[in-house]
Amino acid sequence: MTQEVPVVANSDEQWVRQDPSHSTRAFFGDELRYYREAAGLSTKQLADMLFVSTSMVGHMEVGRRRMQPEIAELADRVLETNGFFARRCNDARPAGIANHFAEAYDAEQRAVRIREFSALLVPGLLQTEKYARAVFRASHPVRPEDELDHLVRARLARARILDNHRTPEYEVLFDESVLHRPVGGGPVMAAQLRHLVNLVRNHRVRVHVVPYAIGGHAALTGPLRLLTCMDEPPMAYVEGLSSGRLLDEPVVVAHHEEVYARLLVEAWPCKASLERIESAAKELDDHPRLAQE
């Protein structure tokens, strides 16, 4: 869960979100800096030995970026810390957040701007409780109900960042097929679409639908996510089945931004997209059984 606290800077009220896992990340960042300095290594030297950028080491040392398991194991070998980082690198991971998504979750909580494209589903931050439950049940058909409850609560907690009207700026593109995939059945899908409409009308998200009619497009290979945080390089997150990576290499991120920009040109404007979403919801309201036949 996140909390919003006012911070006064340059006489203007700004709002930041406090991530409760940050103190744990900051602790391990302090430890990383301690062991690095004890080994007589500069930030660049350690970065070279861990096969990451110098800025990545800097972000980890101040608790801004999470240490991933593979980096933790390598740090233990390089710094001779007897498994300290490998044993503890997941301690700051919020409950209900998949390990491969943990670093992207951190970035999401800090983000001032989020842009993403989804080809199959309504993105997690925009999902209703029943829609999210149906998504998790489809992915985990034999998982106990209490475990599903845990996952759903974590997903809904993520969406609380949309309660703050100052940040993040959030824009979503999704394929037209998302409107017609009745996840959870007709009534659940209709409620999900109305939830999208309400978020758009309340100015919490801009939504653009990518129509069937354009045929092939630049993001056919999968979803993409772009995150902008204060005082950090732009990032891109790519995800597959039970896997994901947060990328900050400038050339790679620039390519993802180009793909997103090309896709945005092909999408319907926000107003037309909203009308199409409302129409799809009405169709399901009028004929809820059609989605199940």
pLDDT digits (tens, 9 = 90+) for 25-43: 777 888 889 889 989 999 9
Rounded Cα–Cα distance for residues 168 and 29 (Å): 26
pLDDT band at 8 (very low <50, low <70, confident <90, very high): very low
pLDDT band at 289 (very low <50, low <70, confident <90, very high): low
Pick among 3.10.450, 2.40.50, 3.30.1050, 3.30.870: CATH of 99-292: 3.30.870
> 125-148: per-residue pLDDT in tens?
999 999 999 999 998 899 999 999
> 96-105: per-residue pLDDT in tens?
777 778 888 8
Please check whether the two domains, 19-88 and 99-292, share a CATH topology: no
pLDDT for the residue 23: 60
Pick among 1.10.645.10, 3.90.650.10, 1.10.260.40, 3.30.470.10: CATH of 19-88: 1.10.260.40
Q: Which two tokens stand for residue 262?
A: 């090309």
Q: What is the 3-state secondary structure (H, E, C) of 30-97?
A: HHHHHHHHHCCCCHHHHHHHHCCCHHHHHHHHCCCCCCCHHHHHHHHHHHCCCCHHHHHCCCCCCCCC
> 175-187: per-residue pLDDT in tens?
999 999 999 999 9
DSSP 269: P
For residues 78-91, average pLDDT: 81
pLDDT for the residue 211: 94
Strands 169-175 and 111-118: what pairing?
A: parallel
Domain ranges of the chain: 19-88, 99-292
> 252-286: per-residue pLDDT in tens?
999 999 999 999 999 999 999 999 999 999 999 87
Whole-prediction pTM? 0.73
